A and B are shown apart, each in its own frame.
Chain A
Amino acid sequence: MMSHHAQEDDDEIEALLRRQFDGPLPDEGFSERVMRQLPPAHRRRTVVWPLWAGVIAGLAACWSQLLPSALLHAGWRDWAGGQLSAPAIILLMLAAGMSLLASCWSIAEADKR
């Protein structure tokens, strides 16, 4: 614990040091010199084609694997007919899971920016 006297001494030293410091320097053309040296801003180019190529390739692979499956056909038919069968529920849960993943990804990306 600092005594009152020591605190006063500290304040005195700090006041002396502050008086000794000249403070911020005048600009005198410094900013202009820096602005002349400033390189052009390079925009962060986001290359989007690999993302879309990956999405399309993924969808195509899924489609080719699921197309011959009876589960997809049955699920789709029951879903369209408003019947909550096991294949329709599986399909529904898959769609919900994909949406949830996409939402989490979007939120994470938004936080980074």
Chain B
Amino acid sequence: MTDHNDRAAEARVDQALVARVLLGHDRRAFEQLLRRHQGMVRAQLRRLLHGDEAAADDLAQEVFLLAWRKLDQFRGEARFSTWLYRIAYSCFLQACRKRPQPAGQVDEGEVEQLPAPRQAIDLQLDLERAMQQLSTAEQTVLLHCVHLELSHEETAEVLAMPLGTVKTHATRGKAKLRAWLAAWNDAAGKEKTS
């Protein structure tokens, strides 16, 4: 409930800043919007670009320059952050079309074949590895739903994907990770008993 209230308050601050930019072409207000959202937009792009910091920051810069130019198209129906994530994802797709990403995706089922990790301390590293084994769509949906804490509806809007497809990718992605986690738990249990 508090989280919901915080989000609503944040959205109102964003709306007020957007109004200031639109009414008076207030660069300071835009700078505040930029400082409030750059961290998450850059994190989103860095994840989408598999950790390529320079490319992610270049794209993020492009995103905010586009947002400045197109701010009058922000109608306030969605949260400002959702609108920015949508622009960022579109820029990312355009960049991919210009420079195709290296193929490295693995089909469904292969997560189950991952060798179980040997030590508990490796859990995060192995989870990262398991994430990379998910399909691009599953990774992208989980990034937006879990990491960026968007609702399924917001994720569908950002990714321009039907809501049902978003839910399916989220469920499948988590099911694969759950299966992998079960293997990890089993391995950890055996280590404890031996």
Residues of chain A having any CB pair with chain B under 8 Å = 9-10, 12-14, 16-27, 30-31, 33-35, 37-39, 41, 43-44
- Which 3 residue pairs of A and B lie closest in terms of their CB atoms, listed nearest first? A24-B39, A41-B25, A21-B147
In this complex, how many residues of chain B approach chain A with their Cβ under 8 Å: the count is 33
Distance from B50 Cβ to chain A, minimum over Cβ atoms (Å): 14
CB pair A12 B34 closer than 8 Å: no
**How far is it, in angstroms, between the C-alpha of A33 and the C-alpha of B38 when the chains are bound?**
12
Main secondary structure of the interface of B (DSSP, over half): helix
30 contacts between A and B (CB under 8 A): A9-B181, A10-B178, A14-B146, A14-B174, A16-B123, A16-B127, A17-B127, A17-B142, A17-B147, A19-B124, A20-B124, A20-B127, A20-B128, A21-B146, A22-B43, A23-B39, A23-B43, A24-B39, A24-B40, A25-B39, A26-B39, A27-B35, A27-B38, A30-B42, A34-B34, A34-B61, A35-B31, A38-B30, A39-B65, A41-B25
CB pair B39 A34 closer than 8 Å: no
CB-CB contacts of B1-40 with A at 8 A, as 1s and 0s?
Answer: 0000000000000000000000001010011001100111
